[in-house]
Copies of this chain bind each other. A is one copy, B any other.
């Protein structure tokens, strides 16, 4: 299905503020960017680079005052995600070199501390896809979805304790539990059609049977029509925006429409949540 997805962010910069944006999806990996627009107001110089995960990152310096970003893309997406319940575990010795680092613990996924929980959840599962699905399903059933319960410092260990969180927390916990079993796992941020409530989204991929599979613990069944914007080890790597200065995000809108529908009614995007400012000198906007 062709989707038109995008976001609009309105900031207010109290001082000149460098930003790093990660908003532009790439073609490949099952998605084709047919059309895209990227407006930054006021007009400033922008440079773009590819980070170590292959994500396109934009660097800008926001002058003092209002600063807004509008990105939209029309993307051909897959209607379904692959579900292969008996896809076997890939032994570490068979993992490609470039996948190995996705077995390591990271800021929000302390897999070195969750071996016991991972073992308990998957004790009756088939090694591989079966284990990951058991993890995904356990999170879906045991973690309560609730806005405002977590922040920029909340990690998988925190979420395993509190049993509450948003998509970002579900994802961190899923990744951490996979890695605790030596299954490579990575965070994906992007858009999901008919996500309710609509927002930027996060899910995870696990590497079994020689390839990456998509898992989303926030959903009750497998769903396609996703647009991947960026991959990373965890949320530290894939913030949509990172501001290095005193800058406030006032409103943020996110939309994902089927292209026919989009053309039928040009409805105004609805405002989505504005994340709390973190306590650090750099602030990030991440998936929820």
Task: Name A residues whose Cβ lies closer than 8 Å to a Cβ of B.
Answer: 18, 20, 26-29, 32-39, 43, 45-52, 54, 56-59, 61, 76, 91-93, 97-98, 100-101, 103-107, 109-113, 115-116, 152-153, 180-182, 236-237, 244, 278-282
CB <8 Å contact, B49 and A115: no
Q: Give Cα A52 to B98, complex, Å.
A: 8
Name 9 extra pairs, CB < 8 A, besides A35-B37, A105-B107. A18-B92, A20-B100, A27-B56, A28-B49, A50-B54, A59-B97, A112-B278, A112-B279, A116-B279
Copies of this chain present in the complex amount to 4
Which residues of chain B are within 8 angstroms of A279 by Cβ–Cβ distance? Answer: 112-113, 115-116
Instruction: Please tell me which one of the listed residues B35, B50, B104 contacts residue A50 in the complex, with CB atoms under 8 A apart.
Output: B50
CB <8 Å contact, A180 and B280: yes
Name the CB-closest residue of B to A60.
B93
Which residues of chain B are within 8 angstroms of A46 by Cβ–Cβ distance? Answer: 27, 32
Which residues of chain B are within 8 angstroms of A37 by Cβ–Cβ distance? Answer: 34-35
Name the CB-closest residue of B to A37.
B35
Which residues of chain B are within 8 angstroms of A153 by Cβ–Cβ distance? Answer: 110, 112-113
Known: A92-B18, A237-B101, A281-B182. A36 touches B39 (CB 8 A): no
CB <8 Å contact, B280 and A111: yes
CB <8 Å contact, B93 and A280: no
CB <8 Å contact, B112 and A59: no
Which residues of chain B are within 8 angstroms of A76 by Cβ–Cβ distance? Answer: 43
Give, as a whole number of angstroms, the nearest-CB distance from A220 to chain B: 30
Q: Give Cα A115 to B282, complex, Å.
A: 10
CB <8 Å contact, A34 and B26: no
Known: A92-B244, A101-B51. A236 touches B281 (CB 8 A): no
CB <8 Å contact, B61 and A47: no
Name the CB-closest residue of B to A33.
B38
Instruction: Please tell me which one of the listed residues B36, B48, B54, B93 contacts residue A26 in the complex, with CB atoms under 8 A apart.
Output: B48
Of A91, A116, A280, chain B has the most CB atoms within 10 Å of the CB of: A280
Q: List 21 A-B contacts (CB under 8 A).
A: A18-B91, A26-B48, A28-B48, A32-B45, A33-B38, A34-B38, A43-B76, A57-B97, A57-B100, A59-B97, A92-B244, A103-B282, A104-B107, A106-B107, A106-B236, A107-B109, A110-B153, A112-B152, A180-B281, A181-B281, A182-B244
Instruction: Please tell me which one of the listed residues B18, B33, B49, B110 contacts residue A107 in the complex, with CB atoms under 8 A apart.
Output: B110
4 smallest CB-CB distances across A and B, nearest first, come from A27-B48, A18-B93, A49-B97, A28-B48
